[in-house]
Amino acid sequence: MDAGGQSSSLQMSSQRPSSRAQNFRTYATEAQKPSSSSTPWIVGAVAVGAGVLGYNFLGSNSKTAKADAPKPSDDAQKMDKQGGEPGKTFTGGEQGFVDLKLAEIIPYNHNTKRFKFELPEKEHVSGLNVASAIITKFKPDDQEKPVIRPYTPINDEDVKGYLELLIKVYPKGPMSEHIHSMKPGDSLSFKGPIPKYPWQPNKHDHITLIAGGTGITPMYQLIRAIFKNPEDKTKVSLVFGNIKEEDILLKQELSSLENEFPQRFRCFFTLDNPPESWPYGKGFITKELLKEVIPDPKSENIKIFVCGPPGMYKAISGAKTSPQDQGELTGILKELGYTKEQVFKF
């Protein structure tokens, strides 16, 4: 999902942390129970959209800009005979783009829809892992270069036969507008997986996810992977800022997981313009708020993940220099005493 839409829940605010934030702080400082296993276990992708990146996301390699989409590789065309594992549509490397047909469109909210794309074979899985994304491509008739954007599917990694995207439309967002204009039977070019963060179960005792708007998407991928794996005992804190309640994506799924894993997963929602009955945070994601709800920077074995619109990166952590370069840590997290090594920017 294009993350270019602005979630303004990221500036300084006069709002004091609520009692819920105080309880959240108690949770954030609780010691993690020893894990029964530290064996690395990389799981496949759950998914939702990633951030807006320009055409240079793939660099200047002209091979990636070809309009013709090649067929899936041989590995993606057949079942793996070893262990009976399903074939993978996306195999990375030199595979190139794969055309997928749009099968179904499901309305989600006032500006977001779910798009279900058929994989080439009903027994295929996507082939994504955690944390990774796919990229989409289409060439407007009036432009020389194609539009390329990354997204992260929302369906579970082992689901066969289809890929599902949750996409918010942005004014003058060429890819989101194009996908929202598609009809069942139309095709779109995909390539992947594009690796983001090599998640390993129990690598960190406690992770904090700071998301704004559509920046929830790679966070949801991590959350789903952690709580799907019974061997992964990682504690998770989510701070999620939006403008209005109807802008919150995946709230039902997140709240359900919080209820299922109350000792390990806590969500803190905050809105710029909350309704009167809103029981969560009010105002922006601030230095004061983060100080209350995330683990102390001196805590051992923690990691903080950040994803949101450009203004949020600037205020919270500083921007990445490039897709491959995390850049220096600045903003609120640096002021609170966190180190560059403790923070990952999607």
Q: Is 16 annotated as a binding residue?
A: no
Query: Is 149 annotated among the ligand-binding residues?
Result: yes
- Provide DSSP, 119-140: -SSTT-B---BTTEEEEEEE--
Neighbours of 228 (CB within 10 A): 15
Task: Report cis status (omega within 30 of 0) of the bond before 262.
Answer: no
Q: Is 170 annotated as a binding residue?
A: no
Distance CA 229, CA 233 (A): 9
168 marked ligand binding residue: yes
Helices 251-260/216-228 angle, 10° precision: 30
The torsion region of residue 270 among left (phi > 0), alpha (psi -120 to 50) and beta comes to beta
Q: Is 119 annotated as a binding residue?
A: no
In angstroms, the CA 262 to CA 49 distance is 26
Neighbours of 142 (CB within 10 A): 5
Short-list 332, 207, 212, 309, CA closest to 266: 207
Query: 313: which residues sit within 8 A by CB, 6+ positions away?
Result: 306, 319, 320, 331, 345
Distance (Å, rounded) from C-alpha 323 to C-alpha 33? 35
- Cβ distance 189 to 137 under 8 Å? yes
**Which tokens sit at 111?**
């500006």
The answer to whether 10 is a known ligand-binding residue is no
Interatomic CA distance for residues 250 and 207, integer angstroms: 19
Sequence-ordered alpha helix ranges (H) in the chain:
19-29, 74-77, 174-181, 216-228, 251-260, 287-293, 310-316, 331-335
> Using only C-alpha atoms, what is the Rg of the chain?
20
Which of these, 229, 290, 289, 297, lies nearest to 264 by C-alpha position?
229
295 annotated to bind ligand: no
Check whether 176 is labelled as a binding-site residue: yes
Q: Which residue, 83, 32, 80, is CA-closest to 237?
A: 32
Binding site for FAD, by residue number, is 149-151, 166, 168, 175-176, 217
Binding site, by residue number, is 149-151, 166, 168, 175-176, 217
